[in-house]
Amino acid sequence: MFVLGACLLLLFPADDAQADQSYGSATLSRMTELKLGLLNYRSDLGHFPFAGNDSTDCHAYKATHSAGLGASETTNCLFKSEIAGFNYLGMKKEDYFSHWKGPYAETPPEELLFDYWGMPFVIVKHDKYLMLWSAGPDGRFDHLGEVMNKITNHNSYGDGYEGDDLIMNLARHKKTETNLHIDDLTEYACYFSKRGEMPQPSENLSKFIGAVFDLFW
């Protein structure tokens, strides 16, 4: 009996680890399907689903239900074009409906929005990254800073992130309008320093300078 009990104690942890590995692979497949659906949605509509009026707000993606990503077909914008309480990305309804080409996934939302441990996925915006995130086997989301080490490969703490969360990068946000204007002005400055004159047409320079002044003053 003692030998049998010892064998059982050794067996169960291995089974748990094997199950977690299997669930992890299945969860990554599910995340891939969700990511593909979100990317196709963005391709048609111009934005990922978000709540509120500002797609650059880090809080716009946290409330998945108000962002049009509810756990039923009638509350999920990947499956239905008309969703109660959804802001339609700030578009007029008729414009939104004309661009919507879904459904954007096959797995029903009551499964698609959850990992294989039963926890909901979250979409997190941090800096320029938009990430799809599973809490992993322990059901707890790790510290965002640790996770970002894994995402960005900016490893400042030895081996970096070694947690059990599963993270998939959805997108990197484009530069802000301010930074784009600054980049354009930098190019003009480099051109002028080399040639002693401004590039043509000169009205572009006035447009960029005016835009930057509007943004900062």
**Over the stretch 124-181, which tens digit does the pLDDT of each residue have?**
887 778 889 999 999 998 887 767 766 565 444 334 567 889 988 888 765 444 444 4
Mean of all residue pLDDT scores within the chain: 75
Q: Identify the pLDDT of residue 151.
A: 59
pLDDT value at residue 106: 96
pLDDT beyond 80 at 77:
yes
**Encoded amino acid at 27, one letter:** T
Amino acid occupying residue 146: E
Place of tokens 């992993």: 136
Burial of 143 (0-12, 13-18, 19+ CB in 10 A): exposed
Predicted pLDDT at 63 = 61
For residue 88, what pLDDT band results from cuts at 50, 70 and 90?
A: very high
Q: Is the per-residue pLDDT at 185 higher than 80?
A: no
Residues 6+ apart with CB under 8 A from 35: 132, 168, 170
d(CA 37, CA 19): 27
**Ranges 41-50, 72-81, 129-138, 207-216: which has the least confidence:** 207-216
* pLDDT bucket at 13, cuts 50 / 70 / 90: low
Q: What are phi and psi of 74, to 5 degrees?
A: -75, -10
pLDDT of residue 31: 95
What is the predicted pLDDT for the residue at 162?
72
Could you give the 3-state DSSP secondary structure of residue 134? strand
Going by C-alpha positions, the residue among 74, 65, 78 that lies closest to residue 36 is 78
Q: How far apart are CA 152 and CA 131, in angstroms?
A: 11
Q: Which pLDDT belongs to residue 159?
A: 47
Q: What is the DSSP letter of 150?
A: H
Q: Which residue has the higher pLDDT, 187 or 87?
A: 87
Cα–Cα distance between 157 and 146 in angstroms, integer? 9
Within 8 A by CB and 6+ apart from 96, the residues are 45, 81, 88, 89
Q: What is the pLDDT of residue 79?
A: 97
Instruction: Give me the pLDDT at residue 127, please.
Output: 76
Q: Which residues contact 140 (CB under 8 A, 6 or more apart)?
A: none
What percent of the chain stands above pLDDT 70? 61
Task: Quote the pLDDT of residue 98.
Answer: 97
Provide the b/e sequence for 171-192 (b: ≥16 CB within 10 Å). Answer: beeeeeeeeebeebeeebeeee
Whether the per-residue pLDDT at 97 is higher than 90: the answer is: yes
